A and B are shown apart, each in its own frame.
Chain A
């Protein structure tokens, strides 16, 4: 039975969080049960107010082999941060 249930990735939005954050994965026979399993496995300590589940097979991931061409070129381009603007104090979560 274990081998036949597909894998799902679980994203939870915490009470104090703004975004859904990846918290782990689980097995479930379908999306509805995946959502319920995620509730039972990942929110039993009052962690969340919203859950997403995504079939793991639906995720296209970058490869570790491509790490340098993908990410290294951004390493020395500090000017891409908007540090030259003044940020109003009453704008949260910018």
Chain B
């Protein structure tokens, strides 16, 4: 992670000798990184951690499918999605780090569980561990990408130019993630009895964690104009999910809500049991060999 642009080390400034795969660009080049006037920088950093941790932790979960997906092609598809999200996480953690005076690696690898601000949906085990299967993973991807796509669509208008640029770039990625999840949801839901049963079970598994996505946090409320109020996304996201579930012949699960601790959840740094194990795996190398690079 030591390059601003991962291709610099490969290409230098000249890529015309490549027949394919040229024309890479960095979406954040030239973006004004000054903090907008009147914005509470501590709140902005917290907000960047929220959105960045969602992407980082879900990326870690998706990467667990590497070499374990039902098909080689799906293996690559999930890894691509994980890498898209990791890229979003890097930009957001870097932005938070500009306030906190820590770099992206320090924020990803050296924070403890209570300092992470991701929603529970990103961290729970939806397979390949015992917490789910491919259908469960697709259910989570459908919900997460539909929600984040709606969020980023509004975030393009953020008063923070960096958040607006991150959102504009991420929008195209998330549109593909949602499409991928929707394609599979329809095929599994409208497939065999077994695939339908498992896809429905996947939805039931993730649904208690949907409510948290739309709960307005105090930081988001204070950052009007910079942050997106997630409560405002609910009807749009519900509409998308209804359309996909209906095409798939699946039933929208009853609205239940996973338990909170004294009213707190992921955005407050209160996590599920799965989070500690996830962080142990994600952070182990960096903590054992500080400063390790590829």
- By a beta-carbon cutoff of 8 Å, the part of chain A in contact with chain B is 1-2, 5, 14-16, 26-29, 32-33, 36-37, 39-41, 44-48
Name the contact of A44 in the complex, choosing from B72, B80, B183 (C-beta under 8 A): B80
Produce 1/0 per residue, B39-76, CB < 8 A to A. 00000000000000000000000000000001111101
A-B pair count, CB < 8 Å, reads: 45
Distance from A79 Cβ to chain B, minimum over Cβ atoms (Å) = 32
Neighbouring B residues of A15 by C-beta, 8 Å: 22-23
Q: Is the interface of A mostly helix, strand, loop or mixed?
A: mixed
Do the beta carbons of A45 and B20 come within 8 Å of each other? Answer: yes
Specify the chain A residue showing the minimal Cβ separation from B179.
A36
- Beyond the given A26-B73, A44-B76, A44-B80, could you list 4 further A-B residue pairs with CB under 8 A, ordered by the A residue number? A1-B71, A37-B76, A39-B176, A47-B21
Q: How large is the interface on B (under 10, 10 to 19, 20 to 34, 35 or more residues)?
A: 10 to 19
Q: Give the one of A5, A28, A37 with max B CB within 10 A.
A: A37
Check A40/B73 contact, CB under 8 A, given A29-B187, A32-B183: yes
Neighbouring A residues of B176 by C-beta, 8 Å: 39
Specify the chain B residue showing the minimal Cβ separation from A40.
B77
Cα–Cα distance between A28 and B77 once the two chains are bound (Å): 12
Do the beta carbons of B77 and A36 come within 8 Å of each other? Answer: yes
Do the beta carbons of B187 and A1 come within 8 Å of each other? Answer: no
Specify the chain A residue showing the minimal Cβ separation from B79.
A40
- Counting CB contacts under 8 A, is B24 at the interface? yes
Do the beta carbons of A27 and B71 come within 8 Å of each other? Answer: yes
Do the beta carbons of A5 and B71 come within 8 Å of each other? Answer: yes
Across chains A and B, which 9 residue pairs bring their CB atoms closest together, nearest first?
A45-B21, A37-B73, A47-B20, A40-B77, A47-B21, A46-B21, A40-B76, A14-B20, A40-B80
Do the beta carbons of B23 and A41 come within 8 Å of each other? Answer: no
Cα–Cα distance between A1 and B70 once the two chains are bound (Å): 8
Name the contact of A46 in the complex, choosing from B22, B70, B73, B183 (C-beta under 8 A): B22
Do the beta carbons of B20 and A33 come within 8 Å of each other? Answer: no
- Counting CB contacts under 8 A, is B286 at the interface? no
- Counting CB contacts under 8 A, is B169 at the interface? no
